[in-house]
Amino acid sequence: MADNDLMSKLMSLCKRRGFIFQSSEIYGGIGGFWDYGPLGVELKRNLKDAWWRDMVSGHDDTTTPQGAPSTYEMVGLDCSIIMHPQVWKVSGHYDLFHDMLVDCRTCKARFRADHLKSGECPKKPSKRPGEHTECDLTDPREFNLMFKTHVGALFDLASEAFLRPETAQGIFVNFKNVLDTSRVKLPFGIAQIGKSFRNEITPRYYTFRSREFEQMEIEFFCRPDESRHWYTYWRDRRFAWYTSLGLKSEKLRLRDHDAAELSHYSCGTADVEYAFPFLQEGDFGELEGVAHRGDFDLRSHMEGKLVRSGDGFAVELDAEGKPRHPGSGKDLRYFDDQTRERFVPHVIEPSAGADRGTLAFLCEAYTEDQAPDEKGQPQERVVMKFHPRLAPIKAAVFPLVKRDGMPDIGQDIYRELKRRWNVAYDEGGSIGRRYRRQDESGTPFCITVDSQTLADQTVTVRDRDTLEQVRVAMKELSSFLSEKLETP
């Protein structure tokens, strides 16, 4: 069964400590949209920074597939949220990006047709949609998931545009720009972190399925004859990245799609999945997909919308034999200076959800255990055991009491450490309560200025997870924290 008790506790903590708030809460909220509070924005930013550092600016390219080049380049983009409408027609989103929708004529609730067996009717007592005698469900009908808007002063078909449902297409349409300006050579990757929007019929599971979300995507371009090697490389590398940041192996899995699951463009896809507590026991939710997209996307933007034709793809034609959704007509092939070949590269796409990743690390970090109180007696505590790279606050500084110059020393330490890390200063309440506040925030280290500090210029450093306390010289505090926080 789903661990609803754990999710209830976690959501309460996220609200209480400022990780996640319901969007527009004072007006009753709006479904499928969430705001990140002071701690949540730091956690999510740390996750994105770790991804960008590890995958883009500081990637390790010494381990590559057998037979592939020993190095590769990574560059970044930040593309606009609204793009030319033809982008979404050529990519297939305009025609294919639909869910099947079912409405209840009685309670006016709306459900996805494939979620009827797991959904919940708003009428009490709780039952599945269609199980109440008063239920009157419509036949399933198509519902386009893209958010529609208009560009310019006139609201007509000519001004119609869409908020992007994914970040990938911005990379594909800029492929030639990157080639011309960055002098990159195959193989290379283009990375992007950005917001996407999908008008989900039934957003649910907290921030797992939202209408506004953030993606961390790479489009990795390579020679067709090397693409299988690179697919395996990225598939394994992306799984290892999550484990390196603390997701437990028994809650994390790498699952290959079977033939029936594959998207129309995919030559192979694997999902990195996590056993979220809101799911039924044995179920997993997707954190990231790694897809072998072949040459589908670049060809589409060159020639027009493609459809499956035998073992390959062909341009979809209308009744007059013309491309139903024409491409740009621009040459997006790659020219190899050494072999003098011109060809359309294959693409491997690791696509991760920043919000889902943040939620997974919140679920993984939530821990209930015991810690001694100020009298040495065991006391229940809630602690968020984030990996140090992800922790919103890296350290907290406490003066034991508000006298004898301890606050002044504490402020000096705080200001010095703040130049390098996000740290907190707290002099309110008992030391035990201050520890508990930082435990719930996930702060790895608490630094206490006490009477011994006045005598020998050392401070007490408490470890969040082990509860071990050690004395560290003030002048060595920065290097001590650096080793603890920044060593992989």
Domain-embedded: residue 307: yes
Neighbours of 462 (CB within 10 A): 22
Does one domain contain both 181 and 298? Answer: yes
pLDDT of residue 264: 65
Q: What is the largest CA-CA distance in the chain?
A: 90
Mean per-residue pLDDT of the chain: 89
- The pLDDT of 103-132, averaged and rounded, is 73
- Name the residue with tokens 């984030």: 386
Structurally, how many domains does the chain consist of?
Answer: 3
The pLDDT value given to residue 308: 81
Q: What is the pLDDT of residues 29-68, one digit of tens each?
A: 999 999 999 999 999 999 999 999 999 988 765 555 555 5
User: Is residue 111 predicted with pLDDT exceeding 90?
Assistant: no
pLDDT at 70 over 70: no
Q: Flag whether pLDDT at 112 surpasses 90.
A: no
Q: Residue 145 — very low, low, confident or very high, per pLDDT cuts 50/70/90?
A: confident
In this predicted structure, what is the pLDDT of residue 108? Answer: 67
Q: Residue 381 — φ and ψ, nearest 5°? A: -140, 155
Question: What pLDDT is stored for residue 64 in this prediction?
Answer: 54
For residue 142, what pLDDT band results from cuts at 50, 70 and 90? low
- For residues 138 and 161, membership in a common domain is answered with no
Q: What would the pLDDT profile of 176-230 be if each residue is shown by its tens digit?
A: 999 999 989 999 999 999 999 998 877 888 999 999 999 999 999 999 999 999 9
Q: What pLDDT, in 10s, does the model give residues 337-347?
A: 989 999 999 99
The letter for the amino acid at 9 is K
State which amino acid sits at residue 146: M
| Token duo for residue 360 | 């997974």
Instruction: Read off the DSSP letter of residue 250.
Output: G
pLDDT for the residue numbered 479: 94
Domain check: are 86 and 166 in the same one? yes
* pLDDT at res. 302: 94
Contact 272, 334 (CB under 8 A): no
- Looking at residue 285, which CATH number applies to its domain? 3.30.930.10
DSSP for 376-392 reads S-EEEEEEE---TTT-S
In this prediction, residue 333 has a pLDDT band, given cuts at 50, 70 and 90, of very high
What pLDDT does residue 209 have?
Answer: 92
Give the model's pLDDT for residue 24: 95
Residue 148 burial by CB count (10 A; 0-12/13-18/19+): exposed, middle or buried? Answer: exposed
For residue 420, pLDDT beyond 70: yes
- Supply the pLDDT for residue 170: 96
What's the confidence (pLDDT) of residue 98? 66
Distance of CA 49 to the CA centre of its chain: 11
Do 239 and 317 belong to one domain?
A: yes
Q: What is the CATH number of the domain that holds 409?
A: 3.40.50.800
Domain that holds residue 126: 98-144
CA dist 168 and 93 (Å) reads 12
Q: Is residue 330 part of a domain?
A: yes
Evaluate whether residue 377 is within a structural domain. Answer: no
**In the numeric block, which tokens belong to residue 128?**
């599945």
Statement to judge: residues 109 and 13 lie in one domain: no
DSSP conformation class of 446 = E
pLDDT in tens, 446-481: 999 999 999 999 999 999 999 999 999 999 999 999
Q: Encoding tokens for residue 262?
A: 């594959």
As a whole number, mean pLDDT of residues 131-143 equals 74
Asked whether residue 473 is domain-assigned, the answer is: yes
- 423: amino acid identity, one letter: V
Same domain, 411 and 478: yes
Query: Residue 425: inside a domain, yes or no?
Result: yes
Query: According to the model, what pLDDT value does residue 122 have?
Result: 75
Verify that 182 and 42 share a domain, yes or no: yes
Is the peptide bond prior to 323 cis by the omega test (within 30 degrees of 0)? no
What's the sign of the alpha-carbon dihedral 414, 394, 463, 472? negative
Residues 352 and 206 in one domain: yes
- Asked if pLDDT for residue 435 goes beyond 70, the answer is yes
Same structural domain for residues 357 and 475? no
Question: Considering 343, 361, 379, which residue would you say is the last residue of a domain?
Answer: 361
Going by DSSP bridges, is the β-strand pair 73-76/188-197 parallel, antiparallel, or unpaired? parallel
- Please return the burial class of 125, using the count of CB atoms within 10 Å of its CB with bins 0-12, 13-18 and 19+: exposed
Do 468 and 332 fall within a single domain?
no
Tokens of 451: 């009477």
How large is the angle between the packed helices 477-486 and 406-418, nearest 10 degrees? 50
CA neighbor of 205 nearest in space, from 90, 52, 325, 360: 360
pLDDT, tens digit, for every residue of 437-446? 999 999 999 9
Residue 375 lies in a domain: no
pLDDT of residue 370: 86
Residue 163 within any structural domain of the chain: yes
Q: How far apart are the first and last CA of the chain?
A: 35
Same domain, yes or no: 85 and 107: no
E strands, 82-236, where?
A: 98-103, 110-112, 141-144, 148-150, 160-162, 188-197, 212-222
Q: Are strands 423-425 and 395-399 parallel, antiparallel or unpaired?
A: parallel
pLDDT-derived band at 321, boundaries 50, 70, 90: confident
Give the integer Cα–Cα distance in Å for 416 and 397. Answer: 11
pLDDT in tens, 241-297: 999 999 988 899 999 888 776 666 667 899 999 999 999 888 999 999 999 999 999
pLDDT score at 395: 97
CB 366 within 8 A of CB 6: yes
Q: Is residue 382 part of a domain?
A: no
Same-domain check for residues 434 and 302: no
